[in-house]
Structure formats: C-alpha cells, structure tokens
Amino acid sequence: MRQTCKKIKVDAEYRWFLGIPFGEETPHFSTFSKNYERRFKGTDIFENIFINIVEQAQKYGMLNDEFFMDSTHRKANANKNQYEDVIVKEIKKRRTDLEEEINEERKKIGKKEFEYKDEEEEKHIKVSKTDKESGYYHRDNKEKGFMYLEHRTVNGKCTIITDAYVTKGNIHDSVVCEDRLEYQKNKLNLGIRKVGLDSGYDNYDIKKYFEDNKIFGVIQYRSYGQGKTEIRKWQFKYMKEEDAYICPKTGIVLPYRNIDKNGYKQYYDRKQCEGCPYKKECCGKNKFRTLRRFINEEINERARERRLSDEGKELFKKRKTTVERSFGDSKQNHGYRFTLYKGVKKNQAYTHLICAAQNMKNIAIKQDKVDGIPLPSSTLLERITKNIKKIIKLQFLKVA
C-alpha cells in the first residue's frame, strides 16, 4: 500500500482512475495506515469492497451457474526452522445422520446397535514462533514450510473470482468446501448449479451435499490403495435386488453378512471359499474373501456417472482455464506467492483487495461484449470507477 500511495502521485492512470487531477495532493500512506488501525481493523470493509465488485459483474451478466473451487498455498512471513512442537487435542467430527442410518441397518439384520461417543484425538503440530496463526504445510512433491491457504471459487463464464477464503496452511481443502458454497449462495445470492473440483475434494460429505442441493458436481478421479490380490473388487458383479456379489471366476454368491462401525457392509461366505481353486489369487493370505460396500454407495456411483458423462467431462475441462488460470494470474502479476502480513485476519483483508483488483481488471478487459451482446452505453469501467470512488471516500480522510 505504501508503494501504491507513492505511485498515485506520479502516475496519470492512477490519478485518472481515482479522479484526482494533477495539482491536488494525494493521500499519504499514513492516512491509510492510521485509518486501518483506528477505523477499519476488524471490520468487513474489505470484504464489502470485494462483494461490491462481484455484484457489478453479476449485474452485467458476467456470471453463469458454473463454479470451480481449489486452494493454493502462500508462504507465511515466518522462518520454517523456528517452531515449537505442540500437542493439540481435538474432538473428532461425528456424522450423526450416518450413525443413525448404520444402527437402523444393524436392527434389520438382527445385530446389536453401536454406541457412538465423542472421540478425542491428539495431534502433534508445529507452531511457528514468528507467526503463530500460520500452519505447517507438507504435501508430496511440494515445498514444506509455514503457509496460508487461500480457498478460491471462480465462475466459469468470465473467470470472475466469487470467493477467496484464507485459512491456516494445515487445513484440508475439503473441510471448508460446503461452508464456502453456502456463503456464496446466501451472501451473493448466486445460483450454483454446476461445480468442478479436483481429487482432493473426493469424500462422501461433499457428494451428499451436491445431491441434497441439486448441484451437478464433478470431482476428479482419485486412486486409492489396492490390495495385493490378483482378482480385484471391480471384477465382482453386484446384484442390487439380492444385495450380494457374484465371484467372476466360479460364480459363487457372496451374501451380505454384517456392517461395521464406519458404515461399510461386509460380504463373504467362508464355506464356499474353502475349496476354491482360485483361493490364492483371490484371498491372498486370508482364509476367505471379504468385500466391503459403503451403506450409501449409490451416492458414489452417481458421482462416478456424472464424472464420466459428456457433460461432466466438458465441465471439468474448464477447470484448468478458470481457477488454475486465476491462481496463475495472481501469483505472476499480484505478488501472491508470499504473504506480507501476519495473522489470518490481516491476510484475509489483503486477499479481498487483491481479488477485487483482479476482478476489476478482468471486467475491464471483457467489458465490450458478454455472450456477443454489447454492454449498455455507459461503460462498465466508468460505473466501477464511480463505485470505487465512493469506497475510497470512506477509507481516506480528505487531504487539505
């Protein structure tokens, strides 16, 4: 911001945009910094600036019903070698609706119901001595260190950023997905009908959220660890009416026997596996083959059908040219690889300003035509300028 205030003095484009002619004094950096400390710190002024720009894009038809979400890490202003090992105790999140469904299923098969309780787990985490609100980021084939994560949502029509949410670097992408989509629906009144996500968001809760809200959600394929058996689970045929699996080699039926605490049904038949000639290929070191199927596996199957459909493939293709392109633009042109501030709140405010500026540039470039239809005679840039001037009057004290 200090450099921006210096540029306003000598740059004609800055002065034209802000409506400050040469000969008039420009706001000093201390005007902004003192106003931030005394008036704007802890408020939602920066979020409102960002929302104002998104609403202008929405008014001019630059948004559709396609959205793409992803996250990127930004290096915290902290030394990765200066940290403390801290033990944190957390209560595991429970799925009460799923627990009830599991116990109902156990009643049907004459099994005793499970008693679910809050479980406490201990985690060893690294806490930075320099920036305690940052999180230690460690993923395969990526740089390790103290980071912040920005969870961004981008619209598929004109790559307008509709949400930018900052968290610690040790928060998983999928944790905030549902909350951020709800935020955009309620705060911006967006009609979200299609969503494209990468494999990091592949979990049951998000898929169920898509179906509950009638969203055409496409999640990238994620490969899970396979067993050492030569005959794979996908080779077994599932019979929905009988709720059983058929062996691909011998044709024997593996009936439904039990359901575990996590909601996975178990299918096996000990006697028929004993004399099977393919026992070693199928069972490995086990005495019999057991297949597992999630109690709501139909949700996973429908998600797979969406991913493999023509519409799903076309939707996912746009992801690399929307949210990935948006991140690339931020890092290349807006200094987004590093954070300049410490703490989640300060970085969140700075992120809202960066994304608002990026949206303004995007709108100005694409202002001539949207879907081949010229915009109204009063140009979009003029309207944006007018609104920004109003916001600036709230931020800066009038300089004599």
| Helix H or strand E encompassing 91 | strand 83-91
Round to whole Å and give the CA distance between 267 and 273. Answer: 12
Cβ atoms of 327 and 70 closer than 8 Å: yes
| Confidence grade of residue 395 (pLDDT, cut at 50, 70, 90) | low
What's the pLDDT at 371?
A: 56
Inter-residue contact 323 to 155 (CB < 8 Å)? no
Q: Which two tokens stand for residue 10?
A: 């000598």
In sequence order, the β-bridge partners of residue 214 are none
Distance in angstroms (rounded) separating the CA atoms of residues 231 and 289: 10
Residues 115-170: tens digit of each pLDDT: 999 888 888 889 999 999 999 988 777 888 999 999 999 999 999 999 999 999 98
Please state, in angstroms and rounded to a whole number, the distance separating the CA atoms of residues 146 and 137.
Answer: 6
Give me the residue spans of the domains in the chain.
Answer: 2-32, 42-79+137-223+301-369+378-395, 83-128, 233-288
CB 236 within 8 A of CB 216: no
The pLDDT-based confidence of 40 (bands split at 50, 70, 90) is confident
- pLDDT at residue 378 is higher than 50: no
Let me know if domain 42-79+137-223+301-369+378-395 sits in CATH 3.40.50.300: no
pLDDT in tens, 72-112: 999 998 888 899 998 888 888 888 899 999 999 999 999 99
Name the token pair of 395.
Answer: 């931020």
Q: What is the pLDDT of residues 191-229, one digit of tens each?
A: 999 999 999 999 999 999 999 999 999 999 988 777 778
H/E element, 68: strand 66-75
Q: How far apart (Å, rounded) are the C-alpha atoms in residues 357 and 330?
A: 10
Exposed e or buried b per residue across 108-146, where buried means at least 16 C-beta atoms within 10 angstroms of its C-beta:
eeeeeeeeeeeeeeeeeebbbeebebbbbbeeeeeeebb
Q: In the structure, what pLDDT confidence band is assigned to residue 355 with cuts at 50, 70 and 90?
A: very high
Q: Tell me the whole-structure pTM to 2 decimals.
A: 0.84
